[in-house]
Structure 1
Amino acid sequence: MAYHYNDEMKKRLRRLEGQVRGVLRLMEEEKNCKDVVSQLSAVRNAADKAIAQIVAENLQQCILEEQQSGGDTSKVVKEAIELLVKSR
């Protein structure tokens, strides 16, 4: 099975990487913990959105492949939901 990671997903992760560097910079500059936590919260939210996008995009592909092989698509959906739950 080939997984699908498009340019938009990679772009989203690069932005997230930049946000993490920004948090590290705040820490190095000994900024207020409120600012650091606020930025970390933004990183977490961005990561959650990236996870959801990756699962959704790949779920569609996995369902199509499962249908073509005559398999149980409900199992694929259940696995995707478990991934989302674990990520929280």
Structure 2
Amino acid sequence: MEYNQQIKNRLRRIEGQIKGVLSMMEQGKDCRDVVTQLSAARSAIDRAMGVVVSENLEHCVRESIQNGEETDNLVKEAVTLLVKSR
């Protein structure tokens, strides 16, 4: 699968969030603030995973339909992948 620039940019923003958390830790910021930022980064990662899985699923379903193949298994695999990631 080829990943578009939009998802790469999303991951770069998450990378910036993580670097910000490290900076907060080095500055001795309050635990609550650090955890809040970590939670925001985790949420951003969860959303990024959802985008990657959904775009891949869409691509695979279109390809399967063109080849006259069933798509049920693809959807089940995508859901399983997302569930396991939690």
Same fold per superposition (TM over 0.5): yes
SS of structure 1 residue aligned to 2:3: coil
* Consecutive unaligned residues in structure 2, runs of 5 or more: none
Structure 1 length normalisation: TM-score?
A: 0.93
Among 12, 15, 34, the alignment partner of 1:14 is: 12
Structure 2 length normalisation: TM-score?
A: 0.95
* Consecutive unaligned residues in structure 1, runs of 5 or more: none
Question: Over the residues paired in the alignment, what is the CA RMSD in angstroms?
Answer: 0.9
Distance, in Å, in 2 between the alignment partners of 1:27 and 1:8 is: 29
Question: What does residue 75 of structure 2 align with?
Answer: 77
Alignment check: 8 A CA contact 1:16 1:46 kept: yes
Alignment check: 8 A CA contact 1:4 1:58 kept: no
Distance, in Å, in 2 between the alignment partners of 1:63 and 1:40 is: 34
Identity of aligned pairs, percent? 55
Q: Write out the 4+ residue segments of structure 1 that deviate beyond 3 Å after TM superposition.
A: none
Question: What does residue 37 of structure 1 align with?
Answer: 35
Structure with the greater relative contact order (CA < 8 A, sep ≥ 6): 1 or 2? Answer: 1
